Chain A
Amino acid sequence: MILSRGIFIFFFSIFMSDANAAGGIDQIKEVLIKDKLIKEADQKKIEELKKEVVRQKKIEAANSPVTEEEFWSLVTHLWLVKRESRLRWDFEKVDYGVNQVFQSLLKKLNISGSSYKILYLNSDVIPHVGIPTGNEYILLISKPFIEKLDLSKQEIALILFDEYVRLKLNTLMNKVNARFNNLGAKKTTQGDKTFEPYLSVLDQEIFVKGFSFQNQFNLTKEVVTYLKNDNSIAQIYHGLNDKIKNLVQSEQQYAYYPKIYPSPDLKETWLNKLLPNQKL
Chain B
Amino acid sequence: MERNFFLRWPYLLFIFSLLNICIASASSQMYVNKNFIHLHKNESINSIVLLTLACGQKVKIVKEKNDWLYVTSGSYKGYALKRNFSDQKLLCFSHTHSKLYNKIDLNMQEVYKFGRLEDLFIYGEPEL
CB neighbours (8 Å) of A80 from chain B are: 117
Taking a contact as CB atoms under 8 Å apart, the answer to whether B46 and A93 are in contact is yes
Q: For residues 93 through 128 of chain B, which have their beta carbon under 8 Å from a beta carbon of chain A?
A: 93, 95-97, 99-101, 103-104, 106, 110, 113-114, 116-117, 119-128
Taking a contact as CB atoms under 8 Å apart, the answer to whether B124 and A116 are in contact is yes
Q: Closest approach, in angstroms, between the C-beta of B85 and any C-beta of chain A?
A: 17
CB neighbours (8 Å) of B12 from chain A are: 15, 32
Evaluate whether A107 and B126 lie within 8 angstroms (CB atoms) in the complex, with A15-B8, A61-B96, A66-B100 already known. Answer: yes
Contact of B114 among A81, A103, A107, A113 (CB under 8 A): A81
Taking a contact as CB atoms under 8 Å apart, the answer to whether A103 and B124 are in contact is yes
Taking a contact as CB atoms under 8 Å apart, the answer to whether A81 and B122 are in contact is no
Query: CA of A62 to CA of B99 in the docked complex: distance in angstroms?
Result: 10
Query: CA of A90 to CA of B64 in the docked complex: distance in angstroms?
Result: 27
Query: CA of A119 to CA of B117 in the docked complex: distance in angstroms?
Result: 8
What interface size band does chain B fall in? 35 or more
Taking a contact as CB atoms under 8 Å apart, the answer to whether B8 and A18 are in contact is yes
Q: For residues 100 through 120 of chain A, which have their beta carbon under 8 Å from a beta carbon of chain B?
A: 102-103, 106-107, 110-120
Contact of B14 among A11, A18, A62 (CB under 8 A): A11
Evaluate whether A90 and B122 lie within 8 angstroms (CB atoms) in the complex, with A7-B18, A22-B5 already known. Answer: no
Taking a contact as CB atoms under 8 Å apart, the answer to whether B4 and A22 are in contact is yes
Contact of A12 among B15, B121, B123 (CB under 8 A): B15
Question: B91 on the interface (CB 8 Å rule)?
Answer: yes
Taking a contact as CB atoms under 8 Å apart, the answer to whether B117 and A81 are in contact is yes
Taking a contact as CB atoms under 8 Å apart, the answer to whether B21 and A4 are in contact is yes
Q: Closest approach, in angstroms, between the C-beta of A56 and any C-beta of chain B?
A: 11
CB neighbours (8 Å) of A116 from chain B are: 123-125
Question: A180 on the interface (CB 8 Å rule)?
Answer: no
Contact of A107 among B95, B103, B128 (CB under 8 A): B128
Q: Which residue of A lies closest to B103 (CB)?
A: A194
Taking a contact as CB atoms under 8 Å apart, the answer to whether A23 and B124 are in contact is no
Residues of A within 8 A of B (CB): 1, 4, 7-8, 11-12, 14-15, 18-19, 22-24, 27-28, 32, 54, 57-58, 61-62, 66, 70, 73-74, 77-78, 80-82, 84, 89-90, 92-93, 95, 98-99, 102-103, 106-107, 110-120, 138, 188-189, 191, 194-195
Given A73-B93, A93-B119, A119-B122, list of 19 further CB < 8 A pairs? Answer: A1-B22, A4-B18, A4-B22, A8-B18, A11-B15, A15-B15, A18-B8, A27-B5, A28-B5, A62-B96, A74-B101, A80-B117, A99-B124, A115-B124, A116-B125, A117-B121, A138-B121, A189-B100, A191-B100
Q: Give me 21 A-to-B residue pairs in the complex whose CB atoms sit less than 8 angstroms apart, sorted by A's number.
A: A11-B15, A19-B5, A19-B8, A22-B4, A28-B5, A58-B91, A61-B91, A61-B97, A81-B110, A81-B117, A90-B113, A103-B124, A106-B126, A107-B127, A111-B126, A116-B123, A116-B125, A118-B121, A118-B122, A188-B100, A195-B104
